[in-house]
Amino acid sequence: MGDPLSAMSTIIDGAQVASGVRDDLGEAIETLADHGVSPGLATVLVGDDPASETYVNMKQRDCEEVGVNGVHVDLDGDASPAELYETIEELNTDPEIHGYLVQDPVPEQIEYGEVIRRISPEKDVDGFHPENVARLVARDARFKPCTPHGIQKLFEAYDIDTEGADVTIVGRSSIVGKPMANLLMQKSVDGNATVTVCHSRTTDLAEKTRRADIVIAACGVTELIDGSMLSVGTTVIDVGISRVEADTEKGYELVGDVDFESASEKASAITPVPGGVGPMTRAMLLYNTVMAASESEGVPVELP
The set of catalytic residues is 59, 103, 126
Among 15, 58, 205, 299, binds ligand NDP (CB under 6 A): 205
The contact mask relative to ligand NDP for 125-164 (x = CB under 6 A, - = no) is ----------------------x-----------------
99-102, strands of its sheet edge to edge: 69-75, 40-46, 99-102
Q: Do 258 and 235 contact (CB within 8 A), yes or no?
A: no
User: Does position 173 bind ligand NDP by CB under 6 A?
Assistant: yes
Distances (CA, A) of 155 to 60, 158, 221, 236, 248: 27, 5, 24, 11, 33
175 lines the binding site for ligand NDP (CB under 6 A): yes
At residue 225, the 3 state secondary structure works out as strand
Does the footprint of ligand NDP cover residue 200 (CB under 6 A)? yes
Angle value at C-alpha 127, between 122 and 128, nearest 5 degrees: 110
Q: What is the gyration radius of the CA atoms in the chain, in angstroms? A: 19
Q: With residue 168 as reference, give the H or E element that holds it.
A: strand 166-170
Task: Quote the DSSP letter at residue 123.
Answer: G
Q: What is the rounded CA–CA span in Å between residue 158 and residue 269?
A: 9
Please report whether residue 170 would count as binding ligand NDP according to CB under 6 A.
yes
Provide the minimum distance between the beta carbon of 124 and ligand NDP in the complex, in angstroms, as a whole number.
Answer: 16
Binding-site member from 172, 180, 212, 267 for ligand NDP (CB under 6 A): 172
**6 binds ligand NDP, rule: CB under 6 A:** no
Q: Hey, which residues between 258 and 297 contact ligand NDP (CB under 6 A)?
A: 277-278, 281
User: Should residue 214 be labelled a site residue for ligand NDP when binding is judged by CB under 6 A?
Assistant: no
| DSSP summary character for residue 124 | B
Q: Closest distance between ligand NDP and the C-beta of residue 297, in Å?
A: 28
Instruction: Indicate which single residue of 26, 81, 191, 220 sits in contact with ligand NDP (rule: CB under 6 A).
Output: 220
Site of interaction with ligand NDP (CB under 6 A): 147, 170-173, 175-177, 198-202, 205, 218-221, 224, 239-242, 277-278, 281
